[in-house]
């Protein structure tokens, strides 16, 4: 896994030391020697991770971290604070400034790389979500990962014995609804959609907590569930294994309430951020198959469904017909009443169209003032009845605009039934030719494509 890492320290010797170690592992390293430079470098270089010294003259690491985390351009970049101090107050202070993790100087190499790998994995998931979202709907991410700091959440503690379990549970933030299990099987089974966080006891002899971490990560339903592992401070090997198996964070025994609170907040904030990205992605996938003006399906979606229906018809299933409906003299509506009125007519038309459809019919806006209706199960005769009904429903009453004006609208419809082996383009071409005939014959009428032999 290669990545770009920004190393920040006021002592050039420290920078060089970390730089050399990271380069041996083929990381791409950029450097800064003060808080101000770090913020600038983070914006310009967009590193995947920042290793940030705490004690620096001028702006110290806490301040720098807080600024990085409040800037929309840099807040998604994980920050690991590197400190010579290692008491709980400093850790809590750093976590509250938004740091994702801590390393103590002199930096132990094994821990460094385990932490780096773990944070990079997480960032890759978030970047992928951010990227896919941007690509699908073409707008930049606006969600603030700092939101929902105190949102209600629920957590599960799996510990070896009740006393430890109760101790961890009581150290959780008050807005997190926490329950516990001492049986690992029952614990894993108790995880559901509502679970936001898992605390696993890796210091117990009663079960293998690493196995729980691995199981949670390998199951698709729980793959994104944040895990904080509790380990003995001297058990470096287990900490590294836990991070490599997918634990998101480590906390040492005995568990300090303030530190656990801060670590839980960090994990929850990240989870809610990722959840929100995923939800937005679902929405944008929905948008990718929907026409934004009318709410009807779009061309891409309807083509896929039409293909299925045509394959089924070709294989001896029910017939399928399509109609292409086009609003008559639509340009004249736009020219006379303006484009807003034109859009209003398109929306009102879509509503009337949807109301008149049979249960299985699918309607799409193909672009402009052209609409396509796929009618599974309909032969040409049924198709003609449906098309005639739609034409009459539109011509029957004018569309009234918000401005109070009423616009008379008529449509022309071309109709065609798919024949076995025909492809979509050929079918739509025949329907389009029929539409052209309806237009030339005076509009406000339905024409069916000539029979297949023609």
Site of interaction with Mg ion (CB under 5 A): 10, 53, 55-56
**Min dist. Cβ of residue 112 to Mg ion (A):** 17
Nearer of residues 10 and 328 to Mg ion, judged by Cβ: 10
Residues pairing with 228 in the sheet: 199, 249
Q: Which among 36, 38, 71 has a CA at the least distance from the CA of 52?
A: 38
**Min dist. Cβ of residue 56 to Mg ion (A):** 5
Report which residue's Cβ sits closest to Mg ion: 55
Question: Strand pairing of 370-376 and 320-327?
Answer: antiparallel
Q: Would you state the structure tokens that stand for residue 145, as one six-digit string?
A: 């990962």
Nearer of residues 18 and 129 to Mg ion, judged by Cβ: 18
Nearer of residues 10 and 447 to Mg ion, judged by Cβ: 10
- Sign of the CA dihedral running 435, 437, 439, 441: negative
**Min dist. Cβ of residue 62 to Mg ion (A):** 12
**Min dist. Cβ of residue 51 to Mg ion (A):** 12
Q: In angstroms, rounded to a whole number, what is the distance separating the alpha carbons of residues 125 and 129?
A: 6
Nearer of residues 84 and 452 to Mg ion, judged by Cβ: 84
Q: Which among 248, 78, 267, 243 has a CA at the least distance from the CA of 176?
A: 267
Among 369, 382, 405, 408, the active-site one is: 369
Angle (CA) 436-422-317 rounded to 5° is 115
Nearer of residues 59 and 281 to Mg ion, judged by Cβ: 59
Is 369 noted as a catalytic residue in this protein? Answer: yes
Nearer of residues 33 and 168 to Mg ion, judged by Cβ: 33
**Min dist. Cβ of residue 106 to Mg ion (A):** 13
Please say whether the beta carbons of 160 and 182 come within 8 A.
yes
Q: Would you state the structure tokens that stand for residue 292, as one six-digit string?
A: 């934004």
Residue 161: which residues within 8 A CB-CB, separation 6 or more? 182, 204, 206
**Min dist. Cβ of residue 49 to Mg ion (A):** 19
DSSP 383-450: HHHHHHHHHHHHHHSPEEPTTS-EE---EEEEEEE--TT--HHHHHHHHHHHHHHHHHTTSS-EEEPP
**Would you name the residues annotated as active-site residues?**
369
């Amino acid at each position: 896994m290669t990545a770009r890492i920004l190393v920040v320290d006021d002592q050039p010797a420290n920078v060089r030391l970390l730089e050399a170690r990271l380069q041996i592992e083929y990381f791409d390293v950029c450097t800064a020697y003060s808080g101000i430079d770090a913020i600038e470098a983070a914006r310009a270089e967009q590193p995947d991770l920042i290793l940030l010294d705490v004690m620096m003259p001028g702006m110290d690491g806490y301040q720098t971290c807080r600024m990085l985390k409040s800037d929309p351009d840099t807040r998604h970049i994980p920050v690991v604070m590197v400190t010579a101090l290692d008491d709980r107050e400093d850790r809590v202070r750093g976590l509250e400034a938004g740091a994702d993790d801590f390393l103590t100087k002199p930096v132990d190499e094994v821990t460094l790389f385990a932490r780096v790998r773990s944070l990079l994995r997480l960032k890759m998931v978030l970047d992928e979500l951010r990227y896919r979202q941007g690509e699908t709907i073409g707008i930049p991410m606006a969600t603030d990962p700092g939101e929902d700091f105190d949102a209600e959440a629920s957590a599960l503690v799996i510990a070896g014995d009740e006393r430890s379990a109760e101790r961890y549970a009581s150290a959780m933030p008050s807005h997190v609804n926490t329950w516990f299990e001492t049986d690992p099987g029952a614990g894993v089974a108790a995880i559901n959609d509502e679970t936001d966080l898992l605390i696993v006891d890796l210091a117990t002899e009663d079960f293998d907590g690493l196995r729980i971490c691995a199981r949670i990560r390998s199951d698709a339903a729980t793959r994104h569930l944040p895990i904080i592992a509790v380990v003995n401070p001297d058990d470096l090997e287990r900490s590294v294994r836990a991070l490599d198996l997918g634990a998101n964070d480590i906390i040492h025994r005995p568990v300090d309430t303030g530190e656990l609170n801060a670590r839980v907040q960090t994990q929850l904030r990240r989870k809610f951020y990722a959840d929100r990205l995923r939800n937005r992605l679902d929405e944008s996938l929905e948008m990718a198959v929907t026409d934004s003006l009318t709410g009807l399906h779009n061309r891409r979606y309807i083509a896929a469904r039409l293909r299925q229906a045509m394959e089924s018809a070709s294989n001896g299933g029910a017939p399928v017909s399509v109609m292409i409906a086009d609003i008559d003299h639509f340009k004249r509506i736009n020219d006379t009443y303006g484009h807003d009125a034109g859009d209003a007519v398109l929306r009102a038309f879509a509503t009337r169209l949807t109301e008149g459809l049979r249960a299985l019919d699918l309607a799409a806006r193909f672009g402009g003032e052209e609409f396509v209706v796929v009618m599974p199960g309909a032969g040409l005769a049924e198709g003609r009845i449906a098309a005639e009904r739609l034409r009459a429903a539109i011509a029957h009453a004018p569309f009234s605009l918000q401005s109070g004006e009423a616009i008379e609208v008529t449509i022309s419809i071309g109709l065609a039934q798919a024949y076995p082996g025909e492809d979509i383009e050929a079918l739509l071409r025949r329907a389009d030719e029929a539409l052209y005939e309806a237009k030339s014959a005076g509009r406000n009428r339905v024409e069916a494509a000539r029979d297949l032999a023609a």
